[in-house]
Amino acid sequence: MDKDIATPVRTKRILEKYGFSFKKRLGQNFLIDTNILTRIVDHAELSGQSGAIEIGPGIGALTEQLAKRSKKVVAFEIDQRLLPILEETLSPYDNVKIIHEDILKADVAQVISDEFQRIEDLMVVANLPYYVTTPIILKLLTDTLPIRGIVCMLQKEVADRIAARPGTKEYGSLSIAIQYYTEAETVMIVPKTVFVPQPNVDSAVIRLKRREQPLVEVIDEEFFFTITRASFAQRRKTISNNLTSQLPDGKAKKASILQALERSGIDPARRGETLSIEEFGKLSSELYGFFKADMT
């Protein structure tokens, strides 16, 4: 068998053979370091009975490593120009299926049902395009798919925000949205020098382990996320000021907001970044009765 896809020489040869040019708008950066790919797959803790879903396989560098370690790989690729390349590079592996579709428009639950019958352990493992990282992760989590978790490479700055803890400058509504569903941890930093073309910033690999139950119990998830986003609208403002200015009729309902904060044991002068996810859960439940009728 030919050398691994993710060597600089073989990657260059494949790209030249097909006259492939990178599209910036698709966020295409291909990894050319097999050791890093192997470590990414290690963090997914796959067995020979596992299934893997990949997003944006490129020329198949990560796909190849997943195929060696799992029972089946299904990869979503949006760029039609890569399909013939993937057909060639992945021809040694009969346990890989490429689906030419935008993951954000795909019915992933149906694909899982069709492609992973009798496979109970399922992980998403991907080198995500920077420009759609957040919508992809949130779709995978909110679609309530039967996955054990996600191991993905993304911009280091976004990984820092996802795994951030209360009281840090990185902590915000994205940290809360993802940690509500998963245990989030950055497991490696990946230098920009191991990609072609080389991006402007370093990447990180983050592991998201799906919680059996969301971290906090809330009356209405959508309302909970509305409250968290409102609380971080202007980071320098206090929580009471943000909620007053961001929620429908917030100014008219300022007394209700202050009452909900008091009932939740939260000082109105605190900033959103100091509140734990548990405190946001309590607050959203207290505010729900005052605001939900206006937001439906």
The answer to whether 84 touches 107, Cβ cutoff 8 Å, is no
DSSP class of residue 169 equals: T
Look up residue 184 and give its two tokens: 């989030």
How buried is 240 (Cβ within 10 angstroms: 0-12 exposed, 13-18 middle, 19+ buried)?
buried
Nearest to 230 by CA among 275, 166, 167, 184: 275
How buried is 199 (Cβ within 10 angstroms: 0-12 exposed, 13-18 middle, 19+ buried)?
middle
The answer to whether 266 touches 279, Cβ cutoff 8 Å, is yes
Phi, psi of 153 (to 5 degrees): -100, 135
The answer to whether 153 touches 190, Cβ cutoff 8 Å, is yes
Asked if residue 197 has a cis previous peptide bond (ω within 30° of 0), the answer is yes
Look up residue 156 and give its two tokens: 């280091």
Looking from the CA of 165 toward its CB, the CA atoms found within 13 Å total 2
Q: CB atoms < 10 A from the CB of 109, how many?
A: 12
List binding-site positions.
29, 31, 56, 77, 102, 127
Look up residue 57 and give its two tokens: 């396989």
The answer to whether 32 touches 13, Cβ cutoff 8 Å, is no
List binding-site positions for S-adenosyl-L-methionine.
29, 31, 56, 77, 102, 127
